[in-house]
A and B are shown apart, each in its own frame.
Chain A
Amino acid sequence: MSNMTGNKKKAPKSSSNGMRILKQMSYNRLAMLGAFILLIEVVLALLAPVIAPHNYASIDIAVAMQGPSLTYPLGTDDMGRDILSRLLYGARYSIGMGILAVSFGMFFGCIVGSIAGFYGGKVDNIIMRILDVIQSLPSMVLVIVLSAVLGAGFFNTILALSIGGIPANARLLRAQMFKVRENEYMEAAVSINCSKIRIIVKHLLPNSISPMIVSATMGVASMIVAAAGLSFLGLGVQPPAPEWGAMLSSSRQFIRTSPHMVIFPGLAIGITVLALNLMGDGLRDALDPKLKR
């Protein structure tokens, strides 16, 4: 045998998949920028009670529709409420609704998709046809109808938004599961007597979930826009709740006289969506093994 090695080996670093992916993402500057922006927004939203200069609901007609000033950094709306404070509290609504709606959509999509993906065959067929029906309705129409049926309000809106998201999530998961099922380790799990539940939860799901996570990250952005749209239409969350879409809706008639009332909520939505998309892009690239380095 060899009596000396000329090979200076570095100790192998054990890295979990999760750490590896985060590291991979950190190389993407834009993704990190998006994550940073989002983080700031979340912090601001959480600190709203502390940093908001005014009460977001206090009405003062005397100072209505004023442009940005020292007292009111982003101006006031048609009821004299401070726009900055409303945006800060509004972040809780918009980002909160976005994340919760997506989470519910993912959770139920996961269950439905797993059943279809694991069993295949007839079960898959039936589930897919039901999802087909749901997806054949234009998503905005579906959300509007559901919202109208369920009524306005924070949690009702979240429910309406999430139902629309279930089919897409389920499909993504199911498609990936069909691929993962081809791997021999799935057969190995059967050969060592794993129960069906264990196979799904321990082997199938963790390896299939990445595309769904990426799409979900991007999904938060569209949920925020959808929530804004609902408020805009008079459904969803209603004033005086400072939801960004509702702010847009109630300000549109003043766009020519006091554009700041429309611009700032619009910017808030736009920047948040941009940040989420950048993050989602970065996450997708990090999860794609072919794009490594």
Chain B
Amino acid sequence: MTDYEHHSWEISPQRSLFDLKLRDTWEYRDLLWLLVRRDFVSFYKQTILGPLWFFIQPLFTTLIFTFIFGMAGIGTDGLPRPLFYMAGVTAWNYFADCITKTSTVFKDNANIFGKVYFPRLIMPLSIVISNLVRFGVQFLLFLAMMGYYAAQGADIRPNGTILLFPVLLLLMAALGLGAGMIISAMTTKYRDLAFLVTFGVQLLMYASAVIMPLSETPDQYKWLIQANPMTTIIETFRYGFTGQGTFTWGAFGYASGFTVITLLAGIVIFNKVEKNFVDTV
């Protein structure tokens, strides 16, 4: 039993606010992958159309946006309307999925959290990674659409900013995770917040360049729209792949900083609540 001596542990009520148990979380990395696999497998097993559902939702959303906002005549930076919305919807969906699913992590896992210990951080992490699968499928759809419009002769010019794509993905995941964890911690005490989340996320979408490009936003509201880090993320995403949109390093820096702070705050608050959460539900 060589492992034996290495597994000394201590249970005590006081724990430093900044003891994030990241090492502990790393020890449980196999669980992370198994949970992701579970989500994936169980999703397929209950459906007839399987992954097709991943396509249907963004396609319909894009269609509706094209119809409604096309009538309203809101500009799209010169991009074909469906492609413009598809880019926004793809990115936004990933963020929205991360935040809404993470925000109910305590409620959804109350039973398992009440019966067995593992670093709780694993659960929200597995949600973010599971959603990546869905994002991947929708992203392929977006690429296909891009190819189609490029062949039609639309003005699409991918550029160097495309290299930021992995960073953007990371930012979306971290932002959704961080904000979701903050909300999840608060919902353990005040349940009504859970109802606000789905609603709030929907509202936030309208303040995030999914529908209206930043260039079209009236000047006096620009700061408000730009305060939302998702605006920059979506604009950068669109700019990298199509060459249309607004990209500045300043805004990008702000979005990154905002995300890092949200994520850290999320982990700290999550860890604090996790300790005694079992007693309050």
Q: Do A and B bind each other?
A: no
